[in-house]
Amino acid sequence: ENSDNNTIIINNENNNLGPGDYEFSLDAINGTYQNDAIFYNVRAGLHTIYVKDKNMCGTATLEVFILGFPKFFTPNNDGVNDTWQVKGLDTNYSNASIITIFDRYGKLIKQINAKNGVWDGTFRGQPLANADYWFVAQLMDVSGTVKTYRGHFSLVR
């Protein structure tokens, strides 16, 4: 699935972690640690990266959220990629989170609930043509904080 092929890179160029010799673990404080600050094939959702100083000076945590969405979808009723939706939202996000979809001219095509809404490639019941579409995700967490993400994807018939 396209939304499960993400990469996380921990960049310490500005020395935000401080000087040290670090190792890293994804989602497991007692799990296997690696020297590389890169994680591949990460699924959409909220993740915790554990950063351990090899000189036993402690472990820091970094929370990383990955918004997952298909880069394309094919609404041809074959049961594969027939709808478009975002992935990775869990109980930390409110049902007030919304996705707004636009065509290349900025025309509003559809607004869906970010947690469980899907788009079938239609506008007012009519199938739309092959094209790229843009979205704005306004994600509200349970504390009421809104984060905005933007992206695009292709509709392929």
pLDDT of 92-133, one tens digit each?
A: 899 999 999 999 999 999 999 999 999 999 999 999 999 999
| pLDDT confidence band for 13 (50 / 70 / 90) | confident
Dist. CA 121–CA 45, nearest whole Å: 25
Element (H, E) at 120: none
Q: Which tens digits make up the pLDDT trace of 138-147?
A: 999 999 999 9
Which two structure tokens, joined as six digits, stand for 85? 């939706």
Q: Percent of the chain at pLDDT above 70?
A: 97
| pLDDT confidence band for 11 (50 / 70 / 90) | confident
Mean pLDDT of all residues belonging to the chain: 92
Which residues in the chain belong to E strands, given as ranges? Answer: 6-9, 22-26, 38-42, 45-53, 59-66, 72-73, 98-102, 108-113, 122-123, 126-127, 131-140, 146-155
User: Would you call 79 exposed, middle or buried from its count of C-beta atoms within 10 A (0-12, 13-18, 19+)?
Assistant: exposed
Q: What residues contact residue 124 under an 8 Å CB cut-off, 6+ apart?
A: none
Burial code of 119-133, b = ≥16 C-beta within 10 A, e = fewer? bebeeeeeebeeeeb
Note the pLDDT of residue 1.
43
